[in-house]
Structures are given as structure tokens and as C-alpha cells.
Amino acid sequence: KKLLIIFLLCISVNVFGQNYDEAKVAAYTLPDLLMSVNKKKITTVKDWENIRRPEILSLFEENVYGKMPRQFDNIVFEVKGENKNAMNGKAHLKEVEIAVTSNKKTVRINLILFVPSKIKEPVAAFLLINNRGKENTSPNREVISGFWPAERLIEAGYAIAAFHYSDAAPDNEDTFQNGVLRLYPEQLSAGDGMKAVGAWAWAASRVMDYFKQDKDIDASKVTVVGHSRGGKASLWAAAQDTRFAMCVTNCSGNTGASLSHRRFGETIERINTSFPHWFADNYKKYNSNEKGLPLDQHMLLALVAPRPLYVTNASQDLWADPKGTYLSEKEAEKVYRLYKLTSSLPVSPPAVNMPFVKPPLAYHIREGKHDLTEYDWAQFIKLADNHFGKKK
């Protein structure tokens, strides 16, 4: 309680220099999603896919997340542990090491995967980029956590997987290089080199490489899920790797799903100062210079189109700017419309605990704090059921 009071006091005297007052949001103009760099108005899926989408991807690589290296020398999948009777016989547990080698260095991503028992055909899967304690995704289920309610997913007929983000890049400004970036040292000195968030997204794509050859998994039905910093990575993963069929970005906030131009809650300067190891060095040019950004996060959401996208907020999580997140998702509708996909999101942000769960664009604001909970997962399952067709 004491901490909460101190925190609220800090906010009221604005110790962090962040704005939490809607009246103080200055007018801003978002870069136009549907206008190419050469001022061509984009009105067709063809022009979106051939002109504007690649342009926007490059803008994000150059200015925000850094380039995504696609080459490596070798990838090896090894099932290191297995339990065909996990979860009281309801699931088949596989602990898979994904070893990727390049530049004579190897990075190892440890995947925990539960597949429903007695499946008749390959199943759809959820993959969580785990940015919390490893115990949240424990294979032995010593800890049953709402952050990754694997039992519930199995019950709903989905395979459920997770890897810990530190396997790809430790979340620390001094040690983040000790993962994927050992394979790509040239990235570290380049202005548009990827850093930790890029590495986490890269690792999600290597899990997709694994899913492609696991006969239990329907790799055409994989949802990548992330919370907060993990939600920034899940978005970037889905944007650059279209093999992901669906994306969930939970409370992802600044440089995730929310609009930077609004400068509400966390700002670019704040995030680059607290976490200098997350984004490309070029991103620091936009500290206190959101106006200069040639993009905003609605354009990242649009890169997920036409695939379903679930965006969330929590009512007490003003730091992540729920309103700016919703406005961002509403803007992305324009690209879904090119695909003739109609979003059912209302004009104004929905009330707390009133989920809108119809594909292609889903949203809810959950009552409570910044977190990923069983309530959130229950909605993600509904979107997947709706999109992939419920199977049991």
C-alpha cells in the first residue's frame, strides 16, 4: 500500500515527466498508412503487399527494431525430455532444444511444449514468449500460473508452447549480446542492428521452424503471444514472419501497440533510457522527437493483416496508454478493409471487461493491473476458436 501511495504521489507531481492528462495530449498527425513514400495512394491488396507493406517493414527495421537476420548455417531440433502422461494423461510434454549455429557460434532456445493427448490430426498451437520468471512455464507444473495456463489451453484442444526470452537475449543492458547476437555480432555496431526485442522475435521464428516439422502441430495455425515487452516482440515477430497465423499483444504499450505520437504514459525517450538494449540505436534519434518519426505503431499492427490480431490493455495500466492503444488498432482497420475484412470494434474504446472477440481485430481492457491473466487467455482461446474453428 505504501508503495502504491508513493507511486501515485510520483505520478501526481509528475516525477517521471510523463503525461497522464488527456487534456495535455497535443494535436498530432499520424503518418498515413495508405500513402506510399512516392505519394501513391494505396487502394488495393496488391499495392499494399507489393509497395506499402515492404516499405513499412523497412521503416520499422531502419528506425525501431533493427534488421532481422534471416540466414544461419544450421538448425538442429532435439527432444531432450518427454512425458507422454503429463497433466494426468491429458497432454504429451516435449522439451525441445532448438540449436541454431552461425558464425561458428550456437544459440540454444529451450522450448516447452504440451500437445493434447490422443489427437487425430495436427493441432493449432499457442506460443508464448515468456518474459517473466521461468517457473511460469515450468514443464513439471510445480507452479500453475495464470500467466501461462497450459492446462486450460490443453482442455480447449490447443497445443501450448513457451520459451524463455533470456535464451534469445538476456534482458540486461550489459549482457543482452549473449544470445542470438553472438551469431550476428555485426548487428551490435550498426545503427539499424537488432537488439534484444529483435532477438526475442527472431527466436519465435525459430520455434516456428521447429513447428513446421513436428507432426503433432498444424504450423498453419500458430498464434504468437506476448505480454508487455514480450508483446512488443510478439508483434514484431508476426509482422516480419507471416507464417504466424495469429498474433496476441497483451499490454504491450510504448513501441508495442500504442501510439507514440500521443506522448501519453511511457515515451520513446523514457523507454530508450530505461532499456537502451531493446531497440536499434537509430531509434534514439526520436527521443523527445516523436514528430520526426516516419511511422507509428498503428503501422506495425497493420503488418499483421489480414491475420487476426488480439490487442489488450488493463484498466490500471496507464503507463501503456490504453486509449492510444485502441486508437492504434482502430487505424489498422484500414488495411483489413483492403482485404474486405470488417472489424467489429466500436468507435470508442469498449468498457472494462467487455471483450470484442470477433476476427480479424479483437480487443479488451481488463479490470486490474499490468499483467497477463487467465481471463486474458480465455478471450484469446475464443478468438482462436472463432478463427480456426473449434475442434475437440
| CA atoms of 63 and 368, how far apart (whole Å) | 33
Nearer to ligand GCU by C-beta: 187 or 258?
A: 258
Is 228 annotated as catalytic? yes
228 binds ligand GCU (CB under 6 A): yes
Nearer to ligand GCU by C-beta: 94 or 232?
A: 232
**Residues 318, 377, 167, 99, CA torsion sign:** negative
Question: Are 239 and 60 in contact, with CB atoms under 8 Å apart?
Answer: yes
Nearer to ligand GCU by C-beta: 171 or 214?
A: 171
Site string for ligand GCU, 261-280 (x = CB under 6 A): -----x----x--x------
- Smallest distance, ligand GCU to C-beta of residue 87, A: 28
- Smallest distance, ligand GCU to C-beta of residue 227, A: 7
Which of these is catalytic: 166, 228, 234, 343?
228
Length of the chain: 392
164 binds ligand GCU (CB under 6 A): no
Nearer to ligand GCU by C-beta: 228 or 234?
A: 228
Ranges within 13-42 binding ligand GCU (CB under 6 A): none
254 binds ligand GCU (CB under 6 A): yes
- DSSP state letters, 275-302: -TTSS-GGGGGGTT-GGG-S--HHHHHH
| CA atoms of 136 and 154, how far apart (whole Å) | 16
Residue 47 neighbours by CB distance under 10 Å: 16
Nearer to ligand GCU by C-beta: 253 or 322?
A: 253
- Smallest distance, ligand GCU to C-beta of residue 91, A: 29
Classified as helix, coil or strand, 13 is coil
> Which of 69, 253, 359, 360 is in the footprint of ligand GCU by CB under 6 A?
253
229 binds ligand GCU (CB under 6 A): yes
Q: b/e string for 339-353 if b means 16 or more Cβ within 10 A?
A: eebebebeeebeeee
- Smallest distance, ligand GCU to C-beta of residue 226, A: 9
Listed in order, strand segments (DSSP E) in 48-130 are 74-85, 91-102, 105-116, 123-130
- Smallest distance, ligand GCU to C-beta of residue 2, A: 20
How many Cα neighbours within 13 Å face the side chain of 392? 6
Size of the residue set binding ligand GCU (CB under 6 A): 8
Is 145 annotated as catalytic? no
Q: Are strands 309-314 and 217-227 parallel, antiparallel or unpaired?
A: unpaired
Distances (CA, A) of 205 to 57, 224, 392: 16, 10, 27
Residues involved in catalysis: 228, 370
Binding site for ligand GCU (CB under 6 A): 228-229, 253-254, 266, 271, 274, 319
